Amino acid sequence: MIQKRLTTFLLVILLVVAIGTLGYYLLFQGQARFIDCLYMTVISITSVGYGEVLNVSSSIPAQIFTMGLITFGMGFILYAISSITALLIEGELSGVRRRRRMNKKIDRLTGHIILVGGGETGRPLADELIISGEEVVIIEQEPERLAMCLEGRHLLHIEGDPTDDANLEKAGILSAKGVVIALPQDKDTLYVTMTARMMNKDLRIVAQVSDPKIEPKLRMAGADSIVAPHTIGALRMASEMIRPAAVDFLDQMLRSEQGPLRIHELPIVQGSPLSGKRLCQTDLRQEYDLLVLGLKHEDAITFNPKASTTLTTGMTLVVMGKIEEIQRLQSRVSSLV
């Protein structure tokens, strides 16, 4: 909106100058040089008072035209310039106010996820985190990559160097529950991983890596999970070739018309109302329409657990269902703990 108004005012200024220049050129029947006509127009509407390069005093029509140009042209120019100045100042002040409001919102966040790196990877990452009901704060240094990640959306973000500790603090790393690092350079990923782990010992850190040789160093730096996009892409292509129906099922699950379906985890914590119950005694299927796919206990994973399985503290259920139903169950369980 501001850019459109600035363009309009600039066009008004150019229009006044063009009318003045053409007017002098026609009044002197094309005998005056174009640059002299332009010069007369500029010194008239700016009222600088330099000498005439065209003999305006000898021509009554030229004098009348000059008076009109000074009266109306200078008025238009002053209005346009003052409006442009006001727009620039207003835009700068509104940007400062917007930044302050965003910083206050970030300061109030707890249990959010920090996405380090925007661009082509950051946008779908942010989309999936938001669909899954997570609060997200993005850190990106390059304006183009940040714009690609935001693209018309009002997401909380920090525009700055993610390797700067101050920007991690601004993003609320001390109160965050996780950091996803999607930077193009592995050395930056390694540095941010190490810094994030030092700043918050309880964070879950997921890092993207291009060179598999860096994985051991990332583990030592504190990464909980490491994702190699090239490897994931290769596995996806193999699955498309071997089991296309299964891949299509998963894709349709993500874009279901019945609402976003996701595979999610549900930890059984101390005091959980699910603890001590057999799987068949829970109301996961009847009330929440959740399908239990698996059960993780310690390092062992059981696929399609039996209905007679007793749930105990420390187990984690892997369920599939609508995001809102999963969130509703998590809210109920946490409120009863």
Enclosing H/E stretch for 230 = helix 229-242
Condensed to tens digits (0 to 9), the pLDDT of residues 154-198 reads 889 998 999 999 999 999 999 999 999 999 899 999 999 999 999
Every domain of the chain with CATH number 3.40.50.720 lies at 110-232
Q: Does residue 96 surpass a pLDDT of 70? A: no
Angle of helix 34-46 relative to helix 74-108, nearest 10 degrees? 70
Dist CA 194 CA 202 (whole Å)? 13
Q: How confident is the model at residue 16 (pLDDT cuts 50, 70, 90)?
A: confident
CATH architecture of 260-336: 2-Layer Sandwich (3.30)
Dist CA 64 CA 27 (whole Å)? 11
Q: Does residue 253 surpass a pLDDT of 60? A: yes
Dist CA 247 CA 231 (whole Å)? 17
Q: Does residue 85 surpass a pLDDT of 90? A: no
Which fold, 2-104? Helix Hairpins (1.10.287)
Every domain of the chain with CATH number 1.10.287.70 lies at 2-104
Q: Does residue 17 surpass a pLDDT of 90? A: no
Asked whether 323 and 274 are in contact (CB, 8 A), the reply is no
Every domain of the chain with CATH number 3.30.70.1450 lies at 260-336
pLDDT in the model for residue 12: 82
**Could you tell me which residue, 289 or 251, shows the higher pLDDT?**
289
CATH architecture of 110-232: 3-Layer(aba) Sandwich (3.40)
pLDDT in the model for residue 169: 94
Q: Does residue 336 surpass a pLDDT of 60? A: no
Condensed to tens digits (0 to 9), the pLDDT of residues 274-311 reads 888 899 888 888 888 898 999 998 888 999 999 899 99
Dist CA 22 CA 17 (whole Å)? 9
141 phi-psi bin (left φ>0, alpha ψ -120 to 50, beta other): alpha
pLDDT in the model for residue 194: 96
User: Nearest Cα to 184, choosing from 234, 224, 148?
Assistant: 148
**Could you tell me which residue, 122 or 257, shows the higher pLDDT?**
122
Q: Does residue 65 surpass a pLDDT of 90? A: no
Q: How confident is the model at residue 93 (pLDDT cuts 50, 70, 90)?
A: low
Asked whether 276 and 312 are in contact (CB, 8 A), the reply is yes
**Could you tell me which residue, 160 or 151, shows the higher pLDDT?**
160
pTM of structure? 0.63
User: Nearest Cα to 139, choosing from 110, 109, 111, 169?
Assistant: 169
pLDDT in the model for residue 121: 82
> What token pair was written down for 77?
């120019």
Burial of 144 (0-12, 13-18, 19+ CB in 10 A): exposed
Dist CA 49 CA 16 (whole Å)? 19
Average pLDDT of the segment spanning 46-54: 75
Collapsing DSSP to helix, strand or coil, 116 comes out as: strand
Dist CA 120 CA 99 (whole Å)? 24
Mean pLDDT of the chain: 86
